[in-house]
Amino acid sequence: MRTLTDISPASVKARADQQGRNKGDGPLAREISDVTRQGAAGASRAHESAVKHVTGRAAYIDDLQAPADTLHVALGLSPVAHGRLTRLDLEKVKAAPGVVDVITIVDVPGHTDIGPVFPGDPIFADDEISYVGQCLFAVAADSHQAARRAVTLAEVEIDAQPASLDPVAAAAREEFVRPTHVQQSGDWQAALDGAAHVIESEQFVGGQEHFYLEGQACLVQPSEDEGVIVHTSNQHPSETQKLVAEVLDIPFHAVTVEMRRMGGGFGGKETQASPWACIAAIIARRTGRTTRVRLPRAEDMRATGKRHPFHNRYKLGFDAQGVLQGGDITVIGDCGYSPDLSEAIVDRAMFHADNAYSLGSARVTGHRARTHTASNTAFRGFGGPQGMMIIEAALDDIARRLGEDPLTIRKRNLYRAAEEQGIKRDVTHYGQPVEQLGLLRDLIAQLEQSSDYWTRREAVAAHNTGSSIIKKGLALTPVKFGISFTAKHLNQAGALLHVYTDGSVMINHGGTEMGQGLHTKVCQVVARELGLDLEQVRITATRTDKVPNTSPTAASSGADLNGQAARDASLKLKERLFDFAAEHFGTDRGGLDREGMRLEGGELIAGSGEAERRIAWGELVQAAYLSRISLSEKGFYSTPLIHYDRETAKGRPFYYYAFGAAVAEVSVDTLSGEYQVDRVDILHDVGDSLNPAIDIGQVEGGFIQGMGWLTSEELKWNDAGRLVSDGPATYKIPTFGDLPPVFNVALMQGHPNSQASIYRSKAVGEPPFMLGMSVWSALRDALSSLVDYRHCPRLDTPATPERVLMAAEALRQGADTRETQHAPA
Amino acid sequence: MIDFYLNGKRQRCDDVPADTSILELLRTRLGQTGTKEGCASGDCGACTVAIGEPGDDGALRYQAANGCITPAHQLDGCHLVTVEGLARGDALHPAQAAMVECHASQCGFCTPGIVMSLFTLHEEQRRTPAPLSQQRLEEVLGGNLCRCTGYRPIRDAALSMNDYPDTHPLWADDPDLASNVAQLRAAKAASSGGGHYVAPRDLAALRKLKAEHPEARLVAGATDLWLETTQQLKALDDLIDVRQVAELNTIEETPQGWWIGAAVTYSRLEPLFGQHFPAFAHLLHRFASKQIRNRGTLGGNVANASPIGDSPPVLLALDARVSLDGPDGERELPLGDFFLDYKQTALGANEFIRAIFLPRPSDTQKLKVWKLSKRREDDISAVLGAFAWHLEGGAMRDVRLAFGGMAAIPKRAAAAEAALEGQAPSADAFAAARVALASDFQPMSDVRGSAEYRQVAASNLLERLRLMIDADSHHNANPEVTLHAYAH
């Protein structure tokens, strides 16, 4: 039933025990492991920290040992969404037991604006209050509890003003955090005018809390001179280094940021891990003491931004076959109070308003609405999922209008190598040609077959005819997701490779490990290039003093960029060793054959047949060292081909696309709104996988997280702008029982990346997230059966049992719910 | 002093404040950081530990608990096992080995908690092997959130761990561990502590303490009380722990029904409910998480008087009674008279709940319990409906329709009950009941649902009830009225 990666029955440990050991020659000889190709890229190796995870030995920020006099910081957060801070009396806070230091904006030595890309994020509120949860002050005390209790003693007076909480109204008033951007291809108005059919609708797509299990945390030690060492749970150490330096008004080289592992990130620690590090750094410098910040869950949820809620509108024309002719799409991203990353996030929603389909002649407009909530931020998919929801909704609508199966309509609209009425159907609305069209078609065809879609479609219809309360739904939705940072300069990476004289290898790179297996994959790349066993390659914490000026680990790019940088370093070192070996290990008959020299199985191999010479890795390394050959190398990579011109709104923002598709079957109790996901089949494209087990893990985890986003995970704010779903008691991420009882997940085989990515693999972090749309579409399918599939109800997200029940009630009462559901306040 | 065993080693901790949690004790006092804090509210399971107490046969039984909201003082006389205590040197425990081999950790932060839940399952399986049904796995793992994996590899680890060599933790080699723990408990009982956290062993001692320390709060499972310290930062300076009061720990069977001691945990009620109240037992599976059910008590759920507590509507439908105890002696009252207003009860000063009486159901009594929530497992009800009735000569009798989430207190729907009482379960009668229901409640809108949704959903539960009765009367074995995942 399940298509799973082959997993070797022998444990890592057993394999290690089986390995013989061989000894290098030479004066520095020590035992080194024999080598196999077990660890090389392409194999399903366990996460590099797996044993540490299961034994509790993997250290996260709050687990790090610190001096006994370490300070603990708690934050004073605004209880009001919008207003003027008129009084902030902290005398009682300062006098509270255990309190050592209390700081506000006046205590910041350097920059007070820590906006990551654009200004707009004050480290502490000055006089203007912009959201509930905004940081007003920080307290450092000798215990976590003492600091938290002291915070409650603050006397805060705020002249409250009406809060803007409706992004649609904000957009109407042109209250934006960044300018509106428009993409256009062809004459969209003419396409609408000339179309046989037109649909027009809107949707609300809810946000999402990251709910990384490890909350925001950092530990800052004062270092020599004016500097600090920052340990932080963080996807973007270099940016934190910059912001800490600017806040302290010291040079960047005085700040070192170290990041070993995160207990989950998902985008929530790309920009929003920095404020706490900045605050802790100020206190550490003021007091000379190591300083910790750890946000309690409810404060973490209130103070930090989330996935952007979106309001989408679409008016699309199509022909009698349901083929899109063109139309007009508007997305409004609810950005919260400041720009943060919203420019790029709304861009990505626009770039994905087509998902896998040719829109025809289309205009896509993206607004960035400013509201009085936390500044919404990166979250797996980065706006892409919210954009795709438009076209997936529309294609369901079109199918009902024409009385066709939604899958039929979807397939007709896929990108295709055709030109219809002057429209290139293989080029996106922003001008990028879509490659690997055959892959997309094959993938859907294979999944259609393996999931038995059409037989099950009949079974679903038969079931629904005979069942008045429980209705089944079925849907196949594809994903096409663009891979690259749309901020071009971020598409670069560095790596640092050291070989030590015992033959052990250390690789360091700019990417961060948040559970996605990046470090495992990078070690595999190095092991493959150097012909070593994975155990001989170790990775160390990401540090800004090892690899500088790095990009965030985001946009699914971690392995693509850092894997290439690590490979670059490995190749350079390898070439140097080959040059050395060719000369050094020469015989009376001449040097080694430099041509065809290779590192394999822990040996350097030169020549072939009788002329073959093998030199053990340990011996090679020691000889090189004694001959004063550098055993260290740095690597660098920048992604080729990509460009995007915001003026013309055209270009090739993505190096390539990753594809996938999912089929979901659901059962809906139309009396209660409860539903269950009965079966899910997924086929996903990762090119040639670097590590099938890790990739499967990303696909499954991404799918479940995407399903949670569209079903049970509901963010609710009260009328005063306070987040009321501020903990796991009220904010429900999927749990064990939400795993579909039948869950067939497979990686697409036989389609290496058409671009020269690392070993022709593809990025996998974000694309599978959007496979969760199949569940939402299946819910609509089930509801649609209540009206004999004559139309598809509007179903805003998350599609909680409440929303599903209210949609069912409206359908039963005969209302055309396409116009009746309203977005929640 | 807290005197206990930690991963096989005797551990004594002096001067531990009353409101210290196990998690805090481990992480800040003992430097054991393997156990993680994810939420400090008992909802995510990252802090899961296993608490071993001697069973009837003297052997230690390990139960999962949330370290973040379990009082450290409850470790007194127990064997605490944490993620650091499972591996035998370099050899992983089967729960750990399976997690590694199944690629079941990604970020690894929830992993220690999941490993500990799997450890308790492994212990159960060693003692009494039984098939690992999906429901059983959900019960064990439903209280452990993972944000990375999507749970499939964790399921695989759970299903495969018994195939791994049964590597015992080192402490399991100690033949005297169980008896040492038992001796510790006996010694503690004799000395019966003092200070700010006291754990009386009998009713007389409890009454006396309560009279002498009227300001002290009572604590049993602490699964709600502890949020006052972790979430609201309140100090819980004086606590009287009722978990070990012998008289509060009994389930007394009489011909008329069962007296359930207020300190009996949900986990202990599972067999009784399973036999006599299957609908209630089914609700238990969706009642918080295993970690909570192992600590939380029926008495606590009733005393807490939350409008969205899961057991009170069922108890109301079953016509339960409560026995209150205190300085002025015992008194008994119907549960319906216990809940007065939002979080207000009939408990007088220094009174406490001693037991709850569940009448024995007659052969003809029917009970249906339906809980509506955003997530099926470990969620709090938006609406909970508990319906009890008899069919006599084609008419519904003793109709008791109780709801949670519809008013400030758990409450019966008097008008709807009246509309059905004595009527045949006809479409007309139920239509009248649904109309009447609208006058019974004016629910509120909150984070769990809108008032409109609650009203519609509650009304629809009556329709579901009608369809169910209708299907029963036609001996339809498989009425398509509820989803399989939710079916009894």
pLDDT in tens, B267-305: 999 999 999 999 999 999 999 999 999 999 999 999 999
Whether A53 and B111 lie within 8 Å, measured CB to CB:
yes
Query: CATH code at B180?
Result: 3.10.20.30
Distance CA A822, CA A716 (A): 15
Amino acid making up residue A603: E
What is the helix (H) or strand (E) element at residue B433, kind and residue range? helix B427-440
Q: What is the pLDDT of residues A744-755, one digit of tens each?
A: 999 999 999 999
Residue B113 domain boundaries: 94-168
pLDDT of A533 strictly over 50: yes
pLDDT of A822 strictly over 50: no
Question: Which chain B residues touch A693 with a CB distance below 8 Å?
Answer: 103
Question: Which chain A residues touch B447 with a CB distance below 8 Å?
Answer: 716, 724-725, 730
Question: Which chain B residues touch A145 with a CB distance below 8 Å?
Answer: 233
Whether B453 and A805 lie within 8 Å, measured CB to CB:
yes
* B112: nearest CB among A47, A56, A694: A56
Question: Which chain A residues touch B405 with a CB distance below 8 Å?
Answer: none
Confirm whether B28 is domain-assigned: yes
- In this complex, is the C-beta atom of B190 within 8 Å of any C-beta atom belonging to chain A? no
pLDDT of A35 strictly over 70: no
Task: Please confirm whether the linkage preceding A798 is cis (ω < 30° from 0).
Answer: yes
Residue A253 or A26, more confident = A253
Question: Left, alpha or beta for A317 (phi > 0: left; psi -120 to 50: alpha)?
Answer: beta
Query: For position B477, what pLDDT does the model report?
Result: 57
A766 noted as active-site residue? yes
Residue B350 or A287, more confident = A287
B140 to chain A, closest Cα gap in Å:
9
Question: Which chain B residues touch A266 with a CB distance below 8 Å?
Answer: 147
Arithmetic mean of pLDDT, B197-212: 93
**Coil, helix or strand at residue A280:** helix
Query: For position A815, what pLDDT does the model report?
Result: 62
CATH number of A31-45+492-638: 3.30.365.10
Whether A54 and B100 lie within 8 Å, measured CB to CB:
yes
Bridge partners (DSSP) of residue A21 are: A33
What DSSP string runs through A444-463?
HHHHHHHTTHHHHHHHHHHH
Confidence band, pLDDT 50/70/90 cuts, at residue A75 = very high
- In this complex, is the C-beta atom of B19 within 8 Å of any C-beta atom belonging to chain A? no
Whether A669 and B482 lie within 8 Å, measured CB to CB:
yes
Q: What is the pLDDT of residues B320-359, one digit of tens each?
A: 999 999 888 899 999 999 999 999 999 998 899 999 999 9
* A469: nearest CB among B95, B108, B480: B480
Long-range contacts of B7-12 (CB under 8 A, 24+ apart): B7/B80, B7/B81, B7/B82, B7/B84, B7/B85, B7/B169, B7/B171, B8/B79, B8/B85, B8/B169, B8/B170, B8/B171, B8/B172, B8/B174, B8/B177, B9/B171, B10/B180, B11/B80
CATH 3.30.365.10 fits A310-486+646-812, yes or no: yes
CATH 3.30.365.10 occupies which residues in chain A? 31-45+492-638, 310-486+646-812
Question: Which chain B residues touch A705 with a CB distance below 8 Å?
Answer: 147, 150
Distance CA B105, CA B122 (A): 18
* A805: nearest CB among B84, B447, B457: B457
Q: How many distinct structural domains can be found in chain B? A: 2
- In this complex, is the C-beta atom of B50 within 8 Å of any C-beta atom belonging to chain A? no
Arithmetic mean of pLDDT, B399-422: 98
Bridge partners (DSSP) of residue A480 are: A659
**Tokens describing residue A298:** 């409810």
Beta-carbon contacts of residue B264 (< 8 Å; ≥ 6 apart)? B248, B249, B250, B251, B297, B298, B299
What's chain A's Rg over C-alpha atoms?
28
Angle (CA) A250-A255-A261 rounded to 5° is 150
**Strand B239-241 relative to strand B197-198: parallel, antiparallel, unpaired?**
parallel
Bridge partners (DSSP) of residue B357 are: B259, B321
Question: Which chain B residues touch A703 with a CB distance below 8 Å?
Answer: 150
Residue B133 or A26, more confident = B133
What is the helix (H) or strand (E) element at residue B23, kind and residue range? helix B22-24
What is the helix (H) or strand (E) element at residue A605, kind and residue range? strand A603-606
Query: For position B476, what pLDDT does the model report?
Result: 64
Whether B107 and A52 lie within 8 Å, measured CB to CB:
no
Query: For position A42, what pLDDT does the model report?
Result: 83
Arithmetic mean of pLDDT, A496-511: 98
* A732: nearest CB among B28, B107, B374: B374
Query: CATH code at B131?
Result: 1.10.150.120
Let me know: does A91 contact A154? Beta carbons within 8 Å. Answer: no
Choosing from B193, B223, B241, the residue where a domain stops is B241
Angle (CA) A602-A603-A609 rounded to 5° is 135
What DSSP string runs through A190-240?
HHHHH-SEEEEEEEEE--B----SS-SEEEEEE-STT-EEEEE--S-HHHH
Whether B145 and A735 lie within 8 Å, measured CB to CB:
yes
Which residue do the tokens 């207990």 mark?
A: A263
Query: For position A825, what pLDDT does the model report?
Result: 37
Question: Which chain A residues touch B40 with a CB distance below 8 Å?
Answer: 296-297
ipTM of the complex: 0.97
Residue in B30, B152, B223, B450 to test binding to A, most A beta-carbons within 10 Å: B152
On average, the pLDDT of chain A sits at 93
> Quick one: B147 and B106 in the same domain?
yes
Whether A674 and B374 lie within 8 Å, measured CB to CB:
no
Q: What is the pLDDT of residues B55-70, one digit of tens each?
A: 989 999 999 999 999 9
Angle (CA) A696-A699-A701 rounded to 5° is 105
Residue in B148, B403, B445, B467 to test binding to A, most A beta-carbons within 10 Å: B148
Arithmetic mean of pLDDT, A778-796: 97
Q: What is the pLDDT of residues B2-27, one digit of tens each?
A: 999 999 999 999 999 999 999 999 99
- In this complex, is the C-beta atom of B461 within 8 Å of any C-beta atom belonging to chain A? yes
pLDDT of A21 strictly over 90: no
> Quick one: B18 and B72 in the same domain?
yes
Arithmetic mean of pLDDT, B229-235: 93
Question: Which chain B residues touch A700 with a CB distance below 8 Å?
Answer: 149-150, 152-153
Query: Domain A63-162+218-294 sits in which CATH superfamily?
Result: Aldehyde oxidase/xanthine dehydrogenase, a/b hammerhead (3.90.1170.50)
Choosing from B241, B264, B295, the residue where a domain stops is B241
| CB count in 10 Å sphere of residue B234 | 13
Question: Which chain A residues touch B112 with a CB distance below 8 Å?
Answer: 53-54, 56
Distance CA B200, CA B244 (A): 7
- In this complex, is the C-beta atom of B144 within 8 Å of any C-beta atom belonging to chain A? yes
B392 to chain A, closest Cα gap in Å:
28
> Quick one: B81 and B126 in the same domain?
no
> Quick one: B38 and B184 in the same domain?
yes
Question: Which chain A residues touch B484 with a CB distance below 8 Å?
Answer: 667, 676
Confidence band, pLDDT 50/70/90 cuts, at residue A820 = very low
Confirm whether B18 is domain-assigned: yes
**Tokens describing residue A679:** 């079966």
B373 to chain A, closest Cα gap in Å:
8
Lowest pLDDT segment from A652-661, A680-689, B178-187? B178-187
Distance CA A812, CA A817 (A): 10
DSSP state for residue A643 in the 8-state scheme = E
Whether A54 and B115 lie within 8 Å, measured CB to CB:
yes
pLDDT of A38 strictly over 50: no
What is chain B's percent helix, strand, coil content, to nearest 5?
Answer: 40, 20, 40
**Coil, helix or strand at residue A32:** strand
**Tokens describing residue A210:** 């990251």
B100 to chain A, closest Cα gap in Å:
6
**Dihedral angle of Cα B267, B273, B279, B281, to the nearest 10 degrees:** 10
- In this complex, is the C-beta atom of B462 within 8 Å of any C-beta atom belonging to chain A? no
Minimal Cα distance from B383: which residue of A? A672
* A56: nearest CB among B83, B107, B482: B83
Whether B485 and A737 lie within 8 Å, measured CB to CB:
yes
Residue in A6, A736, A785, A802 to test binding to B, most B beta-carbons within 10 Å: A736
- In this complex, is the C-beta atom of B465 within 8 Å of any C-beta atom belonging to chain A? no
Minimal Cα distance from B384: which residue of A? A672
CB-defined contacts A:B, below 8 A: 276
Arithmetic mean of pLDDT, B306-310: 94
A520 to chain B, closest Cα gap in Å:
11
Distance CA A469, CA A63 (A): 51
Q: What is the pLDDT of residues A406-457, one digit of tens each?
A: 999 999 999 999 999 889 999 999 999 999 999 999 999 999 999 999 999 9
Minimal Cα distance from B140: which residue of A? A736
Choosing from B106, B134, B168, the residue where a domain stops is B168
**Tokens describing residue B276:** 């006599």
Whether A213 and B46 lie within 8 Å, measured CB to CB:
yes
Minimal Cα distance from A672: which residue of B? B457
Distance CA A473, CA A475 (A): 7
Amino acid making up residue B230: T
B247 to chain A, closest Cα gap in Å:
33
Query: For position B484, what pLDDT does the model report?
Result: 86
CATH 3.90.1170.50 occupies which residues in chain A? 63-162+218-294
* Secondary structure E strands in B280-337: 321-325, 331-334
Let me know: does B199 contact B117? Beta carbons within 8 Å. Answer: no
Catalytic residue, candidates A224, A419, A766, A809: A766
On average, the pLDDT of chain B sits at 95
Q: What is the pLDDT of residues A564-596, one digit of tens each?
A: 999 999 999 999 999 999 999 976 666 788 988
Whether A672 and B461 lie within 8 Å, measured CB to CB:
yes
What's chain B's Rg over C-alpha atoms?
23
Distance CA A304, CA A297 (A): 11
